[in-house]
Amino acid sequence: MDEVKTFSLPKLAYGYADLKPFISEEQLKIHYEKHHQGYVNGANNILAKMDKARAEGADFDVKSTLKELSWNIGGHVLHSLFWGNLGPKGKGGDKPGGKLGDWLVKEFGTLDRFRKEFTAAANSVEGSGWAALALGAQTTRPYIMQIEKHNVNVMPTYTVLMVVDVFEHAYYIDYKNDRAKFVDAFWNIVNWDAVGKRLDAHT
């Protein structure tokens, strides 16, 4: 019988202290080890319960179970993307260059306009959620997604290239409830090389 696959935390490409002063060591460690790990554990626990019920021929509440599974898997996937598009200040340059930069300028007119719209999306997410830069599945155009929670308003089949987490757990230690200040700090630690490689892999 094939080994049962489960979710696990991805390895960070940097140390806990490497994103200072924009994200503190304490904030990053708690976000990664507690909050992200919580989504991993949640998804794995749900899958185990579903497997057990199916093996025993037992029923379970499909609607609530699938909703909870979507929440936890969405949290895991988006956090994994988030860690991957962060890096120490200056990694990949202060602004996207090359193909990624040209692609964004073609759509938004200027890189400053892209940053303005993405920042507005992040700051105005209702409740908790994410702002995401995505590659259009059929148009190959860039789109900004304003994702509520982990799984609401997601454009199906669109490839997410970059995200910022605007759940309060992403910034509450460093910025209290000042989401806008955190989003502004985020631009200092975007790893544009990583974002560009995601674009290259899908175009």
- Listed by start position, the domains of the chain span 23-203
Q: Tokens for 173?
A: 């230690």
Name the more confident of 111 and 95. Answer: 111
Q: Determine how many CB atoms are found less than 10 A away from the CB of residue 19.
A: 21
Distance CA 170, CA 150 (A): 14
- The helix/strand/coil state of 113 is helix
- The predicted pLDDT at position 2 comes to 56
Q: Would you tell me how many other CB atoms lie within 10 Å of the CB of residue 70? A: 17
Mean pLDDT over each residue of the chain, to the nearest integer: 95
**Which residue has tokens 């936890």?**
72
User: What pLDDT shows up at residue 95?
Assistant: 87
Q: Is the pTM of this model over 0.75?
A: yes
CA distance 184 to 162: 15
Residue whose C-alpha is closest to residue 46's, from 62, 65, 31, 61: 65
Q: Tell me the H-state helices in the chain.
A: 25-30, 37-56, 62-84, 98-108, 111-123, 172-175, 179-186, 192-201
Would you say the C-alpha torsion 195, 196, 202, 203 has a positive or negative sign?
A: positive
- Domain range 23-203, its CATH number among 3.40.640.10, 3.40.50.300, 1.10.940.10, 3.55.40.20: 3.55.40.20
pLDDT at 67 over 70: yes
